[in-house]
Amino acid sequence: MAKNTEEIRKKEMTQKTNSKAKPTKKEVVNKKVNTTKKVENKSVQNKVIENIKNFITKIAGMQEKVRQDEEKEKLEKIEQKEALKKQEKIENAPKYLLEYYDLPFRYNETIVKILAQTPKRLFVYWDVSDKDKTTYLKAFGEHFFEDTYPVLLVHNENKNYTREVMINDFANSWYLDISDPRDVYTIQLGRKFKSYVKPQINPDVEETSINLKNDYLMIANSNPLEVPNDHMLFEEFKPYVKYRNIKTYQEETKDLSKTIFQNELQKIYEKLYEHGVDGKKFDLRNPSSMGTSSSIAK
């Protein structure tokens, strides 16, 4: 009896073992279905995760674009403010008339001009037009400028004397020292022939345009210039002075001819010019600084 029971138990254990080792057809189908569902669920989860990541990236990009647009707008506002400030500064700046003059190297005209640098020094500048140069070449030949040299004739109108100053063809201005201030001067530009023989003028050239004297050709005359004094001119003192009361506006005249101030001023001037002015004994009736030097010469 015990033996049969043991065999039955072993048989049941064997069946259970066989049933575990070999699942039924239904269990196999259910297992496949569950596996497929798990794969599908995992795929869906991955897609959802990927979509979420893409959405987050898109949101971040949109936020970055908004931030960049805001910064750009801020910069544009700052630039507009700075431009407005500059425009206001330009509009409110003081208005000046700015002019620029570019002086030409030469005016292509025959001129001689004289200026006084000091009472004993003159400044002279000149030019000869191309037309006159062509005329001289036609009149005296193509070697005219090689056969001649330029000179300045300095003429004192008051004392009636002339001094010749030799210059060169490379200069268009010159400084001249003079010994007699307060006189009127004129300067003449000319050319002298090196051969010291009066040349022949081409008959095809009108002689009215040629001013030739022996071996000297006159080209142009300067303006007359009255050179200033080389010493101080005195004021002509009046023998009286007027006073005005600032409260009552009444005027009063006072005689200064016998005051100490007038006498002392007379002594100072006499000491400065012990020998007088231009050979005349000093007195207070010397011409004033408002007068001209020509009046002194008289």
Which backbone phi and psi does 201 adopt, to 5 degrees? Answer: -95, 135
Distance CA(210)–CA(218), nearest Å, equals: 8
Contact 133, 191 (CB under 8 A): no
126-132 mean pLDDT: 93
Between 56 and 101, the higher pLDDT residue: 56
Average pLDDT over residues 12-25: 61
Q: State the Cα–Cα distance between residues 175 and 123, nearest whole angstrom.
A: 5
Q: Where are the domains of the chain?
A: 2-92, 111-226, 240-297
Task: Give pLDDT, residue 204.
Answer: 81
Tokens found for residue 176: 């001249």
Q: How confident is the model at residue 164 (pLDDT cuts 50, 70, 90)?
A: very high
Closest CA to 154 of 211, 193, 117, 114: 114
- Residue 218 sits at the vertex; the CA angle it makes with 127 and 138, to the nearest 5 degrees, is 80
pLDDT of residue 270: 65
pLDDT at 258 over 90: no
- By C-alpha distance, which of 255, 259, 254, 235 is closest to 244? 254
142 residue type, one letter: E
Please determine, for residue 14, whether its predicted confidence score (pLDDT) is greater than 70.
no
CB of 226 closer than 8 Å to CB of 294? yes
Q: Give the tokens for residue 72.
A: 């750009």
Average pLDDT score over the chain: 78
**Cβ neighbours around 122 below 10 Å, total:** 22
pLDDT digits over 223-232, tens only? 999 998 877 6
Please indicate whether residue 199 or residue 161 has the higher confidence score (pLDDT). Answer: 161
- How distant is the alpha carbon of residue 282 from its chain centre? 52
The whole-number average pLDDT for the span 196-200 is: 81
Nearest to 146, CA basis, from 216, 208, 105, 194: 194
Q: Which of 178-182, 266-270, 275-279 has the lowest mean pLDDT?
A: 275-279
CATH of 111-226, one of 2.60.40.10, 3.90.550.10, 1.25.40.10, 3.40.50.150: 2.60.40.10
Among 16-25, 204-213, 251-260, 285-294, which is the least confidently predicted range? 285-294
Helices vs strands, H then E, count in the chain: 6, 11
- Whether the CB-CB separation of 201 and 140 falls below 8 Å is answered with yes
Token pair of 50, please? Answer: 């990927």
Please give the radius of gyration of the chain, using alpha carbons only, rounded to the nearest integer.
Answer: 58
- The burial class, CB within 10 Å (0-12 / 13-18 / 19+), for 189 is buried
Percentage helix, strand, coil for the chain under 3-state DSSP, each rounded to 5: 40, 25, 35
pLDDT given at position 292: 38
Chain segment 35-94, per-residue pLDDT in tens: 776 767 777 778 878 888 888 888 888 888 888 888 888 888 888 888 888 888 877 776
Residues 28-49: tens digit of each pLDDT: 666 666 777 676 777 777 887 8
Higher pLDDT pick, 12 / 241: 241
With tokens 């000491």, the residue in question is 271
pLDDT attached to residue 282: 46
pLDDT at 25: 66
